[in-house]
Amino acid sequence: MRLELDAGNTRIKWRLVANEQVVKRGSDLQGQLAEVSDWLAAQKQAIETCWVSSVHQAQNQWILAQFPLSQFAQSQQDQAGLKSSYADASRMGVDRWLAMLAAYSTAPNEAHIVIDAGTAITLDVIQDQKHVGGYICPGLHLMKSSLLGNTQQVKAESVWQLGREPGQGTQACLDHGILDMVCSWIEQQASIYPQARLWLTGGDAQRLEPLLNRSLVLEPDLVLNGLMVYFSSHS
C-alpha cells in the first residue's frame, strides 16, 4: 500500500493506492485530517511508502512528522527519456516536472502541452522528447482578487459566472474577461503546436475545460500519476 501526496501552494492532495488501484483520495489532507486521521492511523502499518510532490517547503516537516517513510520527488535534468530545458533543473517546480512526466509517458513520441490551473497557471510544451519551455501566470483566483483588491468601483462576488461572451453586468464582465483571456492564451499556444496532445489539471481545470475550443485530456491526478513514472525511473 502506498500513500501519494501532492503538496501545492494551498493544500495537500492525496490518494492511497493498493495493488495499483486507488482505494481512497482527498483534496485537502490537512483540512481533512480530523475526518480521516483514525482511518489513516489504521492503515499506517500497511502503508509501505509515501511518495511526495511538494512545492511548499513549510509543509515538508509536517508531512515527515505524519509519514516518516516519505520520499520527496525532485525535478530532474533528464528522466525516462524526457529532457528539461532548464539549465538548473532543480529550479523547476517539481509539480510541473511530474505533470510533464505523466503526460509524456503516455506517448513519448508525440508533442504535449501540459496546463496546471491552480494558484498559478503553468503551461509547458514537450516536443521531440524535450521540454521546449513554459509559462507561469497568475491563477484565476489571483487575477480576480488582485483586481478587486486594487480597484474601488469594480465589485464582484467570489463565485464565478462561467462564460466567454461579453458580460452584461460587472460580475460577468470581470469573470468572463478573465476566463476568456486565459482560454484565448491557451488556444493560441495550442495553435502553435497543432499536433500536440493538450492536458489540463489543477483546481480550476474543470472550470476551464468546457470553455476551451480544443479537444483535451482532463486529468485531475496528473501530478500524482507522475510520481509513479518518477519513482519507477529514478535510481
- Please say whether the beta carbons of 111 and 235 come within 8 A: no
- CATH 3.20.20.60 for domain 2-72, yes or no, is no
Task: Indicate whether 187 pLDDT > 90.
Answer: yes
Question: Rounded to two decimals, what is the model's pTM?
Answer: 0.91
Q: What pLDDT, in 10s, does the model give residues 103-119?
A: 999 999 999 999 999 99
Task: Indicate whether 77 pLDDT > 80.
Answer: yes
Class of domain 78-233: alpha beta
Name the catalytic one among 6, 38, 88, 95: 95
Task: Indicate whether 64 pLDDT > 80.
Answer: yes
| Residue 116 a catalytic site member | no
Local confidence band at 27 (pLDDT 50, 70, 90 cut-offs): confident
Give the residue extent of every domain in the chain.
Answer: 2-72, 78-233
Helices (H), ranges, the chain: 29-43, 57-66, 94-106, 140-149, 170-192, 205-208, 222-233
**Same fold across 2-72 and 78-233:** yes
pLDDT at 155: 66
Q: What percentage of the chain exceeds 70 in pLDDT?
A: 91
* Mean pLDDT of all residues belonging to the chain: 90
Residue closest to 74 by CA, chosen among 100, 58, 60, 54: 54
